[in-house]
Structure 1
Amino acid sequence: MPIFNIHHITRYEYDRPVKESTNEIKIYPYQSPDQETLQHDLVITGQPEVQLFQDYWGNKFGSFNVLPVHQKLVIESRLIVRTTAPSQLRINFHGTWQQLEEETAGQLLLLELATPDIVKAQDKIDTITREIQEKTHSAAAAVEYGAEYVFKHFQYIKGITTIETTVDEVLEHKAGVCQDFAHLLLAILRRLHIPCRYVSGYICPNKNGMRGEGATHAWIEAWLPQYGWAGIDPTNNVWVTNNHVKLSVGRHFSDCSPVKGTFKGPARQQLSVFVSVGYEDGHVFEDMNNVNTHQQENDQEVSDGLSVQQ
């Protein structure tokens, strides 16, 4: 059962004073039998009171305000977490499509997560799903093949997409990062009526070559008959085990954004996100992302931006 020390800093800097910053943070470990929070310290500029809630998807999140004039907002999370999931999952590949239909019948949350989104290039999604149906015999096999398809046919390239990139754009680029691959796999599996959800968190593989190490990461979970929720990471083409730390889940990234909010003021902002993962053997992996956001208009409530997924 590995233990990870995760240091996550989200920093907003403004070129002139702003005020009345209102924010929502989802940087608390998801309550799950597969992980245990040993310690979690949170430091925020101005030391505002953080009110804690649970959202529709079961995520713990905090809400806080920084009302005085300021030119910097820093949200620093120091987390020590133990993952208790096995290093290898025993996925049930015998659960039939009929069993999946029976398990989801009348379950409104599962039915919502199985409902496809509108994709302009639906013919491309349908081509992929037909191939999956021809080569698989169960929901679990379809999930595994779908992740493998994304891994093999789409290039992992940082910087080619943004947090607002659509599935249609990913299909056009045939490239992206973990957030893009998660959204694409969700579109594929929901077309097959498999309930599935977006997952935000960290990947902690400790020098084993996985893509996305050290940064905030994204993958998906699918509901498998006679098994329940199973995570799979299309960026690395692996089932999720004890190398992944889960923060939040939802239908899309917008339900899981680690940090989002608004402020008032005519400022231009710069966003940077730093994440380091420390391992029990003393190795530390660090990742820094800098994002320049657009010019803000005077006295408008505008988005503080979202932590960048890599």
Structure 2
Amino acid sequence: MTRLTIRHETHYRYEKPVGFGPHRLLVRPRDSHATRIVRASLSFSPAGQTRWLYDALGNCVCMLMPEGQSRELSIISELVIERFPASLSALRIENPRTAMPIVYDRCDRLVLDPFIDPATDDPDGALLDWVRDQVARPDETALDLVLRLNASIRAQFAYTERPEGDARSPAHTIAMGSGACRDLAWLMVESLRRLGYAARFVTGYLYSPALSDIRGAGATHAWCEVFLPDLGWTEFDPTNGLAESSALIPVAVSRTPEEASPIGGSILGDPGLASLTVRVDVRPADPVKAAA
């Protein structure tokens, strides 16, 4: 078990006062066997109304409606959590469903279909060519293939920080040979879908101990979940080559990156020049404070 404190600060600043439309926040993990929330608080300025709900994928969503006008919007989420990652046990080789090509039970397939169908086009076949190069042999176990793909992306693509902007298409990431965590996660998701796997995009936080070589700390992070027979939804982080690691703290899952933005909303009026600052700090929790 790992106990951590998480502080996620988001500050929007505008040259001119603006009004605000509804904002959708994905900043709180859902309690589960793998993550327990010890304490949580959410503060924001200007004042407003909040409403909490679970979306269709079970993500914990806060709907925030800031009131009045302001030249800035500040949202601060503070958490103390306990993380219980599952051990990544080997699949049973005698189970034919664990080998390539991947085969899901009929009942599972009904739920998994939206996560198997690719969400991007590949008009020049660049992604398909790259995926084919990653397939070693047809009898490889599903887990071995996913682990190898996870490691290949870590080794083949340079990591680049890009605080803003949508995830690039997988073909674009392949052409660039580099990407931010959301680009590399999306490349893995769409690659696995083309091999028949159910995969989904995950956003959350990353714990990086001092002197570690983990990439992507200090901001929100993105990785991939894959549904595997005998294991269920399993976490893989191609940015760092991690699998089912306590360093990964999931907050939200989605079919596409656009659906998993930590904070989204609208403003009313002309803001003039605008800026966005995001800071994320993840560190070991003080046992005394966490228990209070």
Q: Judge same fold: TM > 0.5, yes or no.
A: yes
Preserved CA contact (<8 Å) 1:91 1:227: no
Work out whether residues 160 and 175 of structure 1, in 8 Å CA contact, stay in contact via their aligned partners in 2. Answer: no
Deviation at 1:163, TM superposition (A): 2.1
Deviations 1:81-101 (A, max 9, x none): 110125x42142635247942
Distance 2:176 2:8 in 1: 30
When structure 1 is superposed on structure 2, of 69-78 and 101-110 the one drifting more is 101-110
Q: Say yes or no: does 1:248 pair with 2:252.
A: yes
Please list, as runs of the form range in 1=range in 2, the aligned pairs for 1:14-53 lying within 5 A after superposition.
14-53=14-53
Aligned letter for 2:81? V
Aligned residues: 281
Give yes or no for contact 2:189–2:224 (8 Å, CA) kept in 1.
Answer: yes
Letter in 1 for 2:141: S
Query: Which blocks of at least 5 consecutive residues in structure 1 are unaligned?
Result: 283-310
- Deviations along 1:215-267, whole A, 9 cap, x unmatched? 21111010011111110110011202212111000112212111000011111
Residues in 1 aligned to 2:171 and 2:81: alpha-carbon distance in whole angstroms: 36
The CA deviation string for residues 140-180 of structure 1, in whole angstroms up to 9 with x for no partner, is 12211211221111111223983252222212111011100
Q: Is the 8 A contact 1:161 1:176 kept in 2?
A: no
Cα distance change on mapping 1:73 and 1:126 into 2, 3 Å: same
**1:272 is matched with which residue?**
277
Structure-2 change in CA distance of 1:123 and 1:85 (3 Å): same
In structure 2, stretches of 5+ residues that fail to align are 288-292
Cα distance in 2 for residues equivalent to 1:75 and 1:15: 18
SS at match of 1:246: strand
Query: Which of 1 and 2 has higher RCO (CA within 8 Å, sep 6+)?
Result: 2
Deviations 1:248-303 (A, max 9, x none): 00112212111000011111321110111122489xxxxxxxxxxxxxxxxxxxxx
State the partner residue of 2:3.
Answer: 3
Change (3 A) 1:281 1:76: closer
Q: Which residue identity lines up with residue 59 of structure 1 in the other structure?
A: N
Match in the other structure for 1:131: 133
CA distance in 1, matches of 2:268, 2:26: 22
Calculate percent identity across the aligned residue pairs: 25
Report the equivalent of 1:62: 62
Contact kept in structure 2, 1:6 and 1:78, CA below 8 Å: yes
* Alpha carbons of structure 1 residues 160 and 128: separation in structure 2 relative to 1, 3 Å: farther
Matches within 5 A, 1:133-212: 133-135=135-137, 137-159=140-162, 162-207=165-210, 208-212=212-216
Distance 1:52 1:74 in 2: 19
Give the RMSD, CA atoms, in angstroms. Answer: 2.2
CA 1:120 to 1:128, structure 2 compared with 1: closer, same or farther past 3 Å?
closer
Within 2, Cα distance between the matches of 1:13 and 1:75?
12
Distance 1:135 1:237, change over 3 A: farther
Contact 2:46 2:70 in 1 (8 A): no
